[in-house]
Amino acid sequence: MGTTEQATAPEPKYWHLRTVLLRAIDSEFATGQVIPNERELASRFGVARATLRQALDQLELEGRLVRRRGIGTLVAAPRTAVPVSPAEEGWPGTGRDAAWRIVDCVTAPPSAALARALAIPASEQVHTVRRLRMTGSQVVGTEALHVPDSAVPHLPGFVGDTGRGRSVLRQLQRLELAGESRAVELGVAEAEEARLLERPPGTPVLVVTTQYAAQGRIAALAVSTYRADTCRLTFGQTGLVEVAPVGAGLAEVRTAS
C-alpha cells in the first residue's frame, strides 16, 4: 500500500505547503538566498497569505528559514553547535576566549524563588552577572549567573559593573567544582532578553538551568537562554568521537528507517 490512506487524514494545507517548501529550499536554494516574497508565494500556491505564513512559521521554528523585515525571507544557515559543558564554557569563560561577554553585574537580595533555588536565606546578597554568549561576533545566548555572596567573599571594592562581574567569575574559578546538574527546556524570550538576542519578543529559546555545586553547597545558579533558531547545544564529554555534524541531515536520519 502506498501513501494513499485517505480515510482519516485531511492534511492541513499549511502542513502540505511546509513540506513542498522544505523540499524546494533543500534542492533549489542555497544558504542565505532570498526566497520569493510571501504575496508571490501565496498566489503561486493559490492560498491566502495567512496560510502561507503558517507554513513559513513552521520552517522558521525548525531553523530552516530566517525572515527579515523589509528584506525578505532567507534560507537559514545550518545551526551552529554551541558547546555547553564545564570544559568549554567552564566556570568562567574568563575572557581567555571570547565566548562570553560580560554585560553587567548587580548585587541585590534574591527574589523568593531565587533564594529557594540557591538554598540560601532571603537576607543574603546575591551577585548576578549578565553575560552574552558569542559565536564570533554573533550573539547566540544570554545568561544570568546568580552567585551567593558567601561563595565569593573576597570581592574588590571599587570597580565598574563588568569589573565586579569579572571578579565574581575569577572567584568562582578558584572553587573546586564538585558537580553540576542541568536542565534544558523550551521558552520564549521576553523584552530584555529579546533585545540582547537581537530578536523580537516571543522568540523561542532553549533555556538551560545549571546548578554548580562546590564545597557541599550550591555555589552558583546559571540561567542561560540560547536562540533556538540558530543554536544546537552540544553536551560533550568531549569524548573520543566528534559529534557528527548531522545538522541539516538530521531530518534524514530521523526519518530514515
d(CA 227, CA 249): 20
Residues of span 126-185 touching DNA by CB under 7 A = none
Shortest distance in whole angstroms from residue 70 CB to its own copies: 16
Shortest distance in whole angstroms from residue 143 CB to its own copies: 10
d(CA 164, CA 151): 14
Shortest distance in whole angstroms from residue 24 CB to its own copies: 17
d(CA 237, CA 228): 22
d(CA 111, CA 126): 10
| Among its own copies, DNA, none, partner that 238 touches (CB below 5 to 8 angstroms by kind) | its own copies
129-141 burial string, b = 16+ CB within 10 Å, else e? bbbbbbeeeebbb
Q: Which is nearer to DNA, 42 or 114 (CB)?
A: 42
d(CA 160, CA 181): 31
Q: Give the binding range for its own copies (CB under 8 A) out of 27-35, 68-76, 155-163, 226-234.
A: 226-234
Q: Give the binding range for its own copies (CB under 8 A) out of 32-40, 91-99, 153-161, 234-242.
A: 234-242
For position 73 contacting its own copies by CB under 8 A, the verdict is: no
**Do residues 220 and 147 touch, judged by C-beta distance below 8 A?**
yes
Nearest to residue 97, comparing CAs of 108, 82, 119? 82
Shortest distance in whole angstroms from residue 108 CB to DNA: 32
Which residue in the set 26, 40, 192, 198 belongs to the binding site for DNA (CB under 7 A)? 40
For position 147 contacting its own copies by CB under 8 A, the verdict is: no
Which residue in the set 49, 114, 163, 169 belongs to the binding site for its own copies (CB under 8 A)? 114
Which residue in the set 34, 122, 159, 246 belongs to the binding site for its own copies (CB under 8 A)? 246
**Do residues 121 and 109 touch, judged by C-beta distance below 8 A?**
no
